[in-house]
Structure 1
Amino acid sequence: MKKHDQDFIRRQNRLTVFEMIKNQHPISRAAIAKRTGMSPTTVSRIVTELTEQGYLFESDQVSEGVGRKSTLLDIVSASVLSIGVELDRGHMNVGIVDLQGNLLCGGKYPRDPDESPDKTIARISEAIDGLTKLQEIDRTRIVGIGVGLPGIVNNEKGIVMFSVQLGWKNVALADRLKELTGYEVAVDNELKVKALAEHLKGVAIGSSRTALLGFGNGVGSALILEGEIYRGETNSAGEIGHTTVDPNGMMCECGKTGCLQTYINIGSLLSEANRIRPIRTIEELFEARRSGEQWAVQLIERALMYMAITVNNIVCMYNPDSVILSGELVDKIPEVYEEVEALCHSRFIWEPLRGSFAFHRSELNERGVVIGSGLLSQNRFFELS
């Protein structure tokens, strides 16, 4: 076997063992060997390396049966920290994440929708510097930065290929941010990292096939298969918001007509609402519906119908065991989740697939992208170690 193939297998084995300890701690060496199929010698070698590097510790011996004792392994949570960043049209969130995916601290910062990439990247660097100083964080423990944002991302090179919400195209985000901070930077689509966070820390723990849907300023989805992000050929898998539902429909920000998201996303709903009367926020629109204004009732019920249709389409395509609703619409408006779930169960899920999946509301909410981005950065660090 060629040396680079051997090195790749060693790195993968190391990452597999480390992820198992992170997600199933405390756990014994014997249990790791049994569940991974690796030899006890290989597992012991990897565990010794990780322990010497300060990532693991051994707990007291416990009985695993008559006459048998085994030492359990656990994670040193504070041994590694990473920065998680969420970028959106009107704000950015920055947080510090530990080895177990706990959000230690964070801050939310306004962002001008027309802000240039260079200015945004500079402000991310400033926010990180301010947060670490304010919280007195030991920066030598920070292994990197993860950034989640809406749009098409070349995750291997850290380039934002196209983001309608940010107005960015071909922005070398990872390289520019590394120049300012000195840290390695991982960049990915916001829903992909959010799905990863829900799988590791949220409602989808134990799921083998998780589909996450995001309804907010855009509409998108992400899929986690056996713990891995499903990316597609160009990391564009999940862009369901730009599937065409009516070729003669409304114009989308992407330049096409009739995209699914034009019937659901916050910007489109507010644009249509303002044809009737001034409506500034999505909360005001739902308040008009609660007050019985018929135009608002019809506009929102159409959006809820298309949300349920989106769930059905995802379920039919991927047959997940868990479906998670997330995004600003779900987080801000309490009734959205319940009404979409009811529509799915009563009308829109294809009958053979009814009851085949668990239906969840996002548990991590607005923390999800920051946590997922931080975990993505840590995964990149351990893959390269």
Structure 2
Amino acid sequence: MKKHDQDFMKRQNRLTVFEIIKSQQPISRAAIAKQTGMSPTTVSRIVAELTEEGYLLETEQVSAGLGRKSTLLAMVDAAVLSVGVELDRHRIHIGIVDIQGNVVAKTDYARATDESVNATLERIGAEIDRLTKSNEIDCGRLIGIGVGLPGIVDNEKGVVVFSVQLGWKNVALAEKLKAITGYEVAIDNELKVKALAEHLKGAAIGSSRTAMLGFGNGVGSALIVDGEIDRGKTNSAGEIGHTTIDPNGMMCDCGKAGCLQTYINIHSLLSEANKIRPVRTIEELFEARRAGERWAVYLVDRALMYMAITINNVVCMHNPDTVIMSGELTDKFPEIYEEVAELCIKRFVWEPLRGTFAIRPSELSGQGVVIGSGLMSQNCFFALE
């Protein structure tokens, strides 16, 4: 076997052992060897490396039944920290994330929609510096930055290929942000990293096939199969918001007419609402609906219908065991979760697939992208080490 292939296998084995300990701690070396099929010698070597580097600790616990003591392994949560960034059209969220995905410090602030790439990244760098200093974070433990954002992302090259919401095209974000901060930077689509976080820490724990749907400033989806993100050829799998519903429909920000997201996203809902009367925020629109104003009831109910149709389409395409609803609409107005779920059951989900999947709200809500981005950065670090 060539040295390159041997090195790749060693890195993959190391990452596999690390992830098993992280998710199943405390756990013995023998249990890891049984799960992975690796030899006890290989497992012991990897464990010794991780322990020496300060990532693991050993505990003495009595094994069940026989009363014998066996050495179990656990993570040192604070041994490694990373920065998770959610970069959205109007707001930026930043968090310091430990090995278990706990957010130990966080901040968020408004972003102007016309803010330049350089201004956005300089501000992110400054906020990370301020956050670490104000919380007395040991920067020697920070191993990198993960960024989740809406749009098509080349995650291997660290390039934002196209983001309708941000108005960015072919932006070498990872390279630019590394030059500003000095840290290694990993980037990906926001729903993909959010789905990863839900799989590891949220509503998708135990699921082998999860579809994550995001309803907010845009509409998107992500699929996690056996713990791995389904990316497609160009990492654009899941861009369901730009599937065409009506070629003669409303214009989308992307330049096409009749995209699915024009019937659901916040910008389109407010644009339609302002044809009736001035409505500045999505909260005002929902207040008008609660007050029984017919135009507002129509707009929101139509959006909920298309959300249910989206779930049916994703279920028919991917046959998941779990569908998670997330995004600004479901975070701000949790009552719509029950309404959409009921529409799915009563009207829109294809009958042979009813009862084959669970519909759940996001458990991580506003922190999902930050957590997922931070964990993505850690995965890149441990895979390379």
Give the TM bin, normalised by the shorter chain: over 0.9
Q: Tell me the distance in 1 between the aligned counterparts of 2:161 and 2:109.
A: 24
Q: Is the 8 A contact 1:33 1:43 kept in 2?
A: yes
Q: Give runs of ≥4 in structure 1 deviating > 3 Å.
A: none
SS state at 1:35 partner:
helix
Residues of 2 paired with 1:172 and 1:366: CA distance? 26
Q: Distance in 1 between matches of 2:76 and 2:62?
A: 19
1:64–1:70 Cα contact (<8 Å) kept: no
Q: How does 1:130-149 map to 2 (within 5 A)?
A: 130-149=130-149
* Equivalent in the alignment of 1:74: 74
Q: Which residue of 1 aligns with 2:50?
A: 50
Aligned residues: percent identity? 75
Query: What's 1:251 paired with?
Result: 251
CA distance in 2, matches of 1:47, 1:226: 24
Q: Do structure 1's residue 170 and structure 2's residue 170 form an aligned pair? A: yes
CA distance in 2, matches of 1:63, 1:230: 38
1:118-169 Cα offsets, whole Å, 9 max, x none, are 0000000000000000001000000000000000001001110110111111
Which residue does the alignment assign to 1:118? Answer: 118
Q: Residues 202 and 363 of structure 1 are in contact (CA less than 8 Å); yes or no, is this contact kept in structure 2?
A: yes
Q: Which residue of 2 aligns with 1:223?
A: 223
TM-score, scaled relative to structure 2: 0.99
**Mapping 1:178-193, distance limit 5 Å:** 178-193=178-193
Deviation at residue 206 of structure 1 after TM alignment:
1.2
Matching of residue 381 in structure 1 with residue 381 in structure 2? yes
> Any idea what SS the aligned residue of 2:277 has?
coil
- Tell me how far apart the structure 2 counterparts of residues 175 and 150 of structure 1 sit (CA, whole Å): 18
Q: Aligned equivalents of 1:64 and 1:51: distance in 2?
A: 25
Find the counterpart in structure 2 of residue 233 from structure 1. 233
Aligned length: 385
Q: Distance in 1 between matches of 2:334 and 2:48?
A: 48
How many angstroms does 1:65 deviate by? 4.2
- The residue number in structure 2 matching 1:364 is 364
Structure 1 position 265, deviation (Å) = 0.3
Counterpart-to-counterpart distance in 1, 2:290 and 2:44: 61
Does the CA contact (< 8 Å) of 2:60 and 2:69 recur in 1? no
CA displacement at 1:64 relative to structure 2: 4.4
Residues 94-139 of structure 1 deviation map (CA, whole Å, 9 limit, x = unaligned)? 1100011000010011100000000000000000000000001000
Partner of 1:22: 22
Residues in 2 aligned to 1:74 and 1:260: alpha-carbon distance in whole angstroms: 46
Q: Distance in 2 between matches of 1:65 and 1:184?
A: 47
Q: In the alignment, is the contact (CA less than 8 A) between 1:96 and 1:103 conserved in 2?
A: yes
Partner residue in 1 for 2:304: 304
The unaligned stretches of length 5 or more in structure 2 are none
Q: CA deviation digits over 1:218-274, x for unaligned, max 9? A: 000011111111111000000000000111111000000110000000000000000
Partners of 1:145 and 1:184 within 8 A in 2: yes
Conserved in 1, the CA contact under 8 Å of 2:50 and 2:56?
yes
Paired letter, 1:282 = I
Please name the residue that 1:89 is paired with.
Answer: 89
The aligned counterpart of 2:352 is: 352
Whole-angstrom CA distance in 2 between matches of 1:323 and 1:71: 38
Partner residue in 1 for 2:337: 337
Counterpart CA distance in 2 for 1:39 and 1:58 is 20
Compute the displacement of 1:42 (Å): 1.1
Q: What is the distance in 1 between the residues matched to 2:105 and 2:61?
A: 34
Residue in 2 aligned with 1:63? 63
Q: Deviations over 1:46-79 (max 9, x none)?
A: 1111111100001113224436432111000000
CA RMSD of aligned residues (A): 0.9
Q: Could you tell me whether the CA contact under 8 Å between 1:308 and 1:340 is conserved in 2?
A: yes
Q: What is the DSSP-based 3-state SS (H/G/I as helix, E as strand, rest coil) of the residue aligned with 2:179?
A: helix
**Cα distance in 2 between the residues matched to 1:68 and 1:13:** 29
Runs of 5+ unmatched residues, structure 1: none
| Secondary structure of 2:360 counterpart | strand
* Contact 1:62 1:72 (C-alpha < 8 Å) held by counterparts: no
2:289 paired residue number: 289
TM-score (norm 1): 0.99
Give the conservation status (yes or no) of the 8 Å contact 2:248–2:258. Answer: yes
| 8 Å Cα contact 2:199-2:227 kept in structure 1 | yes
- Is the partner of 2:120 in helix, strand or coil? helix
Amino acid at match of 1:341: A
SS of residue matched to 1:279: coil
Aligned pairs for 1:253-268 (under 5 A) are 253-268=253-268
Give the match's secondary structure for 1:313: helix
Which residue in 2 is equivalent to 1:157?
157
| Number of the residue aligned with 2:9 | 9
**Within 2, Cα distance between the matches of 1:318 and 1:38?**
32
Match of 1:209 in 2: 209
Question: Contact between 2:101 and 2:371, CA under 8 Å: does it hold in 1?
Answer: yes
Asked whether the 8 Å contact 2:212–2:326 carries over to 1, the reply is yes
Cα deviation, residue 283, structure 1: 1.1
User: What SS does the corresponding residue of 1:311 show, helix, strand or coil?
Assistant: helix
